[in-house]
Amino acid sequence: MALLRSWVTSANDPNGPFPLNNLPYGVFVQGDGDLHCGVAIGDQILNLTRLEEDEHLNLPEILIFAIGSWNDFMELGPKVWAAFRAFLIEALEEGSPKQATFSGYLVPMAEANMAMPFDVAEYTDFYSGRQHATNVGTMFRGAESALPPNWLHIPIGYNGRASTVVVSGTDIHRPLGQRKPAGEDAPVFGPSRRLDIELEMGAIVGTPSQMGQPISVAEADEMIFGYVLLNDWSARDLQAWEYQPLGPFQAKAFATSISPWIVTAAALNSFRTSTPPREVPLLPYLREPGPMLYDIDLSVVIQTKGGSPQIISRTNYATMYFSAAQQLAHHASSGCAMNTGDLLGSGTISGVTKDTFGSLLEITWGGKEPLTLGKETRTFIEDGDTLTLLGHAQGDGFRIGFGDCAGTILPAVEFPA
């Protein structure tokens, strides 16, 4: 596929993140303070809430965008998603007769503040990056038993907190919690000292499944509405103390950041790629009927307080061992009902070399190999640091971008007396 040209001229920049080929969905706030649903096109946002109010959209239900969330639209299902995307492409393409009308509903991105694009129903984080799992397992269990016995057979995950999933640009307070210092007999309570990131992709469930009804990988793939960049902030010292026997809890409950634009599965379709060869055969319910991963370049940027942004990692989503469709199919296999707005974190995405690792835990090898940042060093995140995830799929003369996934760490909030 080549660049689709738009009458919104900024969308024709081959290095821009939001060409006509993309059309990601988001929610923004302008001067009136209300939430508006919009689609990104070049450096503009097409205000769909206003277009719907003025009866310029042809949708099967009324006031889909009035609530300032994409959940109601997601519930309409894949046929409506496809028809609406085709309508938008036709309206925004070069030479469209709708230009005269639609141009009056464009809002400069520079004048808008982005909000959460959807209401997160529930959040599940997986552990499906093989290199990350190998790295972490090697640190804590040794290379000979780095991967748990079940890892090659099953997408491992845990249920996280939907309440603290936030949009890019939201400041994050350093979490408080219990940690057990080395050599001490008892834990202490206070701010985390080993605060970290996890570079992930997030898949958003569009259509629900019923309790008691398993779904195939192909059906799961059809249910996924789109993808966001996801940073599952992690307090490694809290996690080390609390995770046995039930796994992550407060160490990951305090914040998860996502990028503001939902890049639809349709926009990514031409970037599909296969999961890696299997060392052991998967059980039939997890086998994929076709390519289910995506070729998406990813990077991590750190900016210390007063410093300049520096890229500390570059990797690709295609390194994952299990796809989002496999994760979703496994999630529903027990009869667990999946809801519109469920968010699935991919797990940390790491390549095979240090400059492709997706967490500081790996980059600094548990703090033993500090990262040099100009005149400063880091083993883990310090107050005032801003971490930003970036990602795009590279097409023929165009890019499919996600927008930044950024957060700045603020000091911990003092515990009430």
- CA dihedral of residues 99, 104, 108, 109 (deg, nearest 10): -80
Contacts of 49 by beta carbon, 8 Å cutoff, 6+ apart: 34, 35, 36, 37, 38, 65, 66, 68
Other Cβ atoms within 10 Å of 273 Cβ, number: 15
Q: For tokens 């001067």, name the residue.
A: 31
Three-class secondary structure of residue 240 per DSSP: helix
Cβ–Cβ < 8 Å for 338, 328: yes
User: Which tokens go with 228?
Assistant: 């966001």
Hey, how many other C-beta atoms are within 10 angstroms of the C-beta on 274? 12
Q: Name 180's Cβ contacts closer than 8 Å, sequence gap at least 6.
A: 186, 187, 188, 240, 241
Helix (H) or strand (E) holding 44: strand 44-47
Which residues are known catalytic residues? 132
**152 HSE (CA, 13 A, CB side):** 11
Write the DSSP symbol of residue 194.
S
- Amino acid at position 153, single letter: H
Token look-up 């995506």 returns 294
Give SS3 for 126.
Answer: strand
For the range 34-38, what are the long-range contacts, defined as Cβ-Cβ under 8 Å and sequence gap of 24 or more?
34/68, 35/67, 35/68, 35/69, 35/115, 36/65, 36/68, 36/107, 37/65, 37/68, 37/69, 37/70, 37/73, 38/107, 38/112
- Closest of 92, 17, 13 to residue 259, by C-alpha: 17
